[in-house]
Amino acid sequence: MIVLEMKAVVKPNQVLAIDDAIRTVQFIRNKALRLWMDASREDKIDKYVLNKYCRILAKEYKFADELNSTARQASSERAWAAISRFYDNCKKNIKGKKGFPKFQKNNRSVEYKQSGWKLSDNRKKITFTDKKGIGILSLKGTRDLNFYPIDSFKRVRLVRRANGYYVQFCISVDIRSYSKPLEPTKHCVGIDVGLKVFYADSDGKTVEIPQYYRQAEKLLNRLNQRKSKKFKKGQKPSNNYKRARQQYARKHLRVSRQRKGFVQREALRVIQSNDLVAYEDLNVKGLAKSKLAKSVNDAAWSTFRQWLEYFAFKYGKATVAVPPHNTSQNCSNCGEKVKKSLSTRTHRCPHCLYEEDRDINAAINILKLGLSTVGHTGSKAFESEILSTLAIANGGEDASTLVGVILSEQVSSVNQESPSILRNKV
Structural contact between residues 165 and 158, judged by C-beta atoms closer than 8 angstroms: yes
Identify the pLDDT of residue 392.
36
Residue 186 has pLDDT above 90, yes or no: no
Q: Is residue 258 very low, low, confident or very high in pLDDT (cuts 50, 70, 90)?
A: very high
Could you tell me if residue 234 is inside a domain?
no
Same-domain check for residues 114 and 199? no
Q: Is residue 238 very low, low, confident or very high in pLDDT (cuts 50, 70, 90)?
A: confident
What's the pLDDT tens digit per position in 380-417?
A: 443 344 334 333 333 333 332 222 333 333 323 334 44
Mean local confidence (pLDDT), 28-44: 88
Could you tell me if residue 364 is inside a domain?
yes
Burial 404-422 (b: 16+ CB within 10 A, else e): eebbbebbbbbbbbeeebb
How far is residue 245's CA from residue 367's CA, in Å, rounded to a whole number?
Answer: 46
Same-domain check for residues 158 and 202? no
Same-domain check for residues 164 and 200? no
Identify the pLDDT of residue 316.
85
Could you tell me if residue 127 is inside a domain?
yes
Could you tell me if residue 238 is inside a domain?
no
Same-domain check for residues 273 and 151? no
What residues contact residue 290 under an 8 Å CB cut-off, 6+ apart?
296
Q: Which of 148, 173, 198 is the last residue of a domain?
A: 173
Domain count along the chain: 2
Could you tell me if residue 236 is inside a domain?
no
What's the pLDDT tens digit per position in 1-22?
A: 788 889 999 999 999 999 999 9
Same-domain check for residues 329 and 194? yes
Same-domain check for residues 257 and 345? yes
Residue 35 has pLDDT above 80, yes or no: yes
Structural contact between residues 7 and 164, judged by C-beta atoms closer than 8 angstroms: yes
Could you tell me if residue 305 is inside a domain?
yes
Half-sphere exposure for 273 (CA within 13 Å, toward CB): 12
Could you tell me if residue 266 is inside a domain?
yes
Least confident among 28-32, 153-157, 181-185: 181-185
Residue 305 CB neighbour total at 10 angstroms: 24
Boundaries of domain holding 17:
2-173
CATH number of the domain that residue 194 is part of: 3.30.420
How far is residue 327's CA from residue 280's CA, in Å, rounded to a whole number?
Answer: 9
- Residue 190 or 40, more confident: 190
Same-domain check for residues 142 and 201? no
Same-domain check for residues 195 and 166? no
Half-sphere exposure for 412 (CA within 13 Å, toward CB): 25
Same-domain check for residues 116 and 263? no
How far is residue 204's CA from residue 381's CA, in Å, rounded to a whole number?
Answer: 33
Q: Is residue 260 very low, low, confident or very high in pLDDT (cuts 50, 70, 90)?
A: very high
Percentage of residues of the chain with pLDDT beyond 70 = 88
- Contacts of 281-285 spanning 24+ positions with Cβ under 8 A: 281/321, 281/322, 281/323, 281/324, 282/193, 282/324
pTM metric for this prediction: 0.78
Same-domain check for residues 105 and 129? yes
Identify the pLDDT of residue 40.
79
Residue 374 has pLDDT above 80, yes or no: no
Could you tell me if residue 139 is inside a domain?
yes
The closest alpha carbon to 197, from 266, 277, 260, 256, belongs to 266
Same-domain check for residues 8 and 87? yes
Q: Is residue 375 very low, low, confident or very high in pLDDT (cuts 50, 70, 90)?
A: low
What's the pLDDT tens digit per position in 262-313?
A: 999 999 999 998 888 999 888 888 888 888 888 888 888 889 999 999 998 8
What's the pLDDT tens digit per position in 68-119?
A: 999 999 999 999 999 999 999 899 888 778 889 999 998 999 999 988 999 9
Instruction: Provide the mean pLDDT of the chain.
Output: 82
What's the pLDDT tens digit per position in 215-231?
A: 998 999 999 999 898 88
Identify the pLDDT of residue 16.
94
Q: Which of 173, 199, 234 is the last residue of a domain?
A: 173
How far is residue 25's CA from residue 37's CA, in Å, rounded to a whole number?
Answer: 18
Q: Which of 122, 150, 173 is the last residue of a domain?
A: 173
How far is residue 424's CA from residue 426's CA, in Å, rounded to a whole number?
Answer: 7
Same-domain check for residues 198 and 61? no
Identify the pLDDT of residue 407.
32
Half-sphere exposure for 60 (CA within 13 Å, toward CB): 8
Identify the pLDDT of residue 223.
92
Identify the pLDDT of residue 379.
38
